[in-house]
Amino acid sequence: MANKASRSDGKIHIVSRHFVAKTIIVLIVVVLMYLAALYRTEADPISLIRGLGILWNMVFTDLLPPDWGYFSTSFKYLVETWNIALLSTTFAAIIALPLTFLASNNINKKPYYYRLVRTLLNFFRTIPDIILAIIVVAFMGMGSVSGIVALTIFSSGILAKMLSETTEGINQGPLDAIMASGGNKLQIIRYGVIPQILPYYASYTLYVLEMNVKASVVLGFIGAGGIGQLLNRNMKFFRYDRLSMILLVLFITITIIDFVSNKVRGYLE
């Protein structure tokens, strides 16, 4: 019996009892948090389950089949959405480049200006694109121009933030060599910084383009132009067959953009 006890004591456990106890405590805490969330939001899981039948009927009765004759109208508004995303991304890529160098501590050696630009970038990134669009629409009126302006402001902050962090992590050797040979700030940027960040610049710009295509659809709901306006109109008139046609066109388009963008970004990186 003593030998059995000693062999039992000598076993090596894959998972320690302490780890098991901690895991159980974490699971209990997570379950309690979900229960508290259900209680505070007054959510009713039974009503949700009952609503699945209504959702099923809506999809297979109202949404399907799509109105195939509405394809040409959907495509026309889709082209407008693409133009909004493309123009806003182009303007953002141009604006973000100088902001990138001002927001990089290895290029901008003046702490005051560096902190000021960083704070402005954080401020513009903090404001959601839909809030920016509402503000721009209030000043400029409804239309695609408002969507372009709003997305340009929002995208510039994101692109400059990502690029500045990339710039701060580049190899400092070429920069020091150009500086030691008497190069000025513009020459350091032209010959030392841009060749190192150019692949990332192209990759991030494609990512922002992909993001703006999706964002411009949402902005259409508040009058910023594009296919979102068409979605909103058909939802108000309960034309779910046309709505499913618009969603199908959007799905195919965004899938193609995602695929092409990922392939190009993978090649650049």
pLDDT for the residue 30 = 93
Q: Are residues 87 and 140 in the same domain?
A: yes
Q: How far apart are CA 222 and CA 228, in angstroms?
A: 8
Q: Are residues 138 and 247 in the same domain?
A: yes
Q: Are residues 28 and 119 in the same domain?
A: no
Residues 133/150, Cβ–Cβ less than 8 Å: yes
Buried b (16+ CB within 10 A) or exposed e, 10-30: eeeeeeeeeeeeeeeeeeeee
Alpha-carbon torsion (155, 156, 157, 161), positive or negative: positive
**pTM given for the model:** 0.71
What is the maximum span of the chain, computed from C-alpha positions, in angstroms? 88
* Residue 210: CATH number of its domain: 1.10.3720.10
Q: Is residue 7 part of a domain?
A: no
Q: Is residue 4 part of a domain?
A: no
Average pLDDT over residues 17-35: 88
**pLDDT tens digits, 182-223:** 777 787 778 778 888 888 888 888 888 888 888 887 777 776
Q: Are residues 147 and 42 in the same domain?
A: no
Residues 73/230, Cβ–Cβ less than 8 Å: yes
Q: What is the mean pLDDT of the chain?
A: 79
Residues 106/229, Cβ–Cβ less than 8 Å: no
* Residues 6 or more apart in contact with residue 89 via CB below 8 angstroms: 151, 155, 205, 208, 209, 212
| Structural domain span for residue 209 | 69-268
Residues 191/183, Cβ–Cβ less than 8 Å: yes
**pLDDT tens digits, 136-180:** 777 777 777 888 888 888 888 888 888 888 888 877 777 778 777
Query: What is the C-alpha end-to-end distance of the chain, expressed in Å?
Result: 65
Q: Is residue 240 part of a domain?
A: yes
pLDDT grade for 238, boundaries at 50, 70 and 90: confident
**pLDDT tens digits, 88-127:** 899 999 988 888 888 887 777 777 888 888 888 888 777 7
